[in-house]
């Protein structure tokens, strides 16, 4: 199964060895103008290693959403550059950027965002169908099986628990074989047990398929599932922990202001 899932490396990446899956290069984002201007990100540079699971944490208003939105190409930086692999997103026209967002980045939101009128199978294949891309049946089955939802493929979201709905959302994010999956508080609406199942699933997908995952969270336990945690404070990078434990993360958080 692994060989099917793993994204092939380009020649340039092989030469470079450890090319980043995504990269922010001196990114600043300022909302508004004049006296009302807010600096949401202030000269942030960060590499997301390919095949890693990265958590992003910081107090409310520290720039986490802006960080994720800039990586996703949903927000254009005021200055600096954002790269998805070799592609510089700022250099793309809107139509090309839309295609990159649709085909090369998967999203998982706190609120699942599934279409209630569609079955699990239809939800998972919606994005490729919108761009007229065929999804082969074997691949769809493999993804649904991996997230543990194959037997529920014909159910609608209201016939599923929150944890199951989030696993469908993860399948939807993976179906295009994206370069990276970006998750915004994916366990925020779940009870502890379902949340941990979702986090274990992310961990498994990263370990077994080489998928790259970036997750914003405020939960030290959730962050401890990641390979590394990057901290933001006032729009700036405020440190990083490798192989974090919940206690280490919680300790770091207490030094970074109000959560």
35 touches ligand ADP (CB under 6 A):
no
For the window 40-79, what string marks contact with ligand ADP as x by the rule CB under 6 A?
x-----------------x-xxxxxxx-------------
Query: C-beta of 31: minimal distance to ligand ADP in Å?
Result: 3
Instruction: Tell me the CA end-to-end span of the chain in Å, nearest whole number.
Output: 41
Half-sphere exposure of 91 (CA within 13 A, CB side): 7
Nearer to ligand ADP, 23 or 64 (CB): 64
Query: C-beta of 235: minimal distance to ligand ADP in Å?
Result: 6
181 touches ligand ADP (CB under 6 A):
no
Nearer to ligand ADP, 31 or 115 (CB): 31
Residues 145-164 touching ligand ADP, rule: CB under 6 A, are: none
Nearer to ligand ADP, 110 or 228 (CB): 110
Q: Which is it for strands 180-184 and 212-216: parallel, antiparallel or unpaired?
A: parallel
How many residues sit close enough to ligand ADP to count as binding (CB under 6 A)? 12
Query: C-beta of 182: minimal distance to ligand ADP in Å?
Result: 13
Among 4, 14, 26, 31, binds ligand ADP (CB under 6 A): 31
Give the C-alpha distances (Å, rounded to integers) separating 55 from 23, 118, 149, 227, 228: 15, 31, 25, 8, 6
The residue written with tokens 């398929």 in the block is 209
Nearest CA among 142, 204, 207, 217 for reference residue 177: 142
Nearer to ligand ADP, 31 or 151 (CB): 31
Number of Cβ within a 10 Å radius of residue 72: 21
Nearest CA among 79, 132, 77 for reference residue 102: 132
H-helix or E-strand spanning residue 99: helix 94-104
Sign of the dihedral through C-alpha 65, 68, 72, 75: positive
Chain residues in the site for ligand ADP (CB under 6 A): 31-32, 38, 40, 58, 60-66
């Amino acid at each position: 199964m692994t060989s099917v899932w793993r994204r092939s490396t380009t020649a340039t990446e092989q030469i470079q060895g450890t090319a980043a899956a995504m990269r922010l290069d001196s990114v600043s984002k300022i909302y508004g103008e004049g006296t009302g201007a807010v600096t949401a990100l202030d000269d942030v540079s960060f590499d997301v290693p390919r095949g890693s699971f990265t958590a992003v944490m910081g107090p409310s208003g520290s720039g986490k959403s802006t960080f994720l939105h800039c990586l996703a190409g949903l927000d254009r930086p005021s200055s600096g550059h954002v790269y998805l692999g070799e592609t510089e997103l700022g250099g793309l026209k809107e139509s090309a950027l839309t295609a990159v967002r649709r085909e090369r980045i998967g999203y998982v939101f706190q609120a699942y965002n599934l279409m209630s009128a569609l079955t699990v199978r239809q939800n998972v294949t919606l994005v490729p169908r919108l761009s007229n891309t065929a999804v082969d049946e074997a691949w769809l089955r493999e993804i649904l099986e991996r997230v543990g939802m194959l037997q529920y493929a014909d159910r609608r979201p209201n016939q599923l628990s929150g944890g199951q709905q989030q696993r469908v959302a993860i399948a939807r994010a993976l179906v295009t074989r994206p370069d990276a999956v970006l998750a915004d508080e994916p366990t925020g609406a779940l009870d502890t047990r379902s949340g941990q199942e979702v986090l274990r699933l992310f961990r498994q997908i990263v370990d077994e398929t080489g998928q790259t995952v970036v997750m914003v969270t405020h939960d030290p336990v959730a962050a401890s599932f990641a390979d590394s945690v990057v901290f933001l404070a006032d729009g700036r990078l405020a440190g990083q922990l490798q192989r974090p434990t919940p206690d280490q993360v919680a300790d770091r958080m207490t030094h970074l202001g109000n959560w």
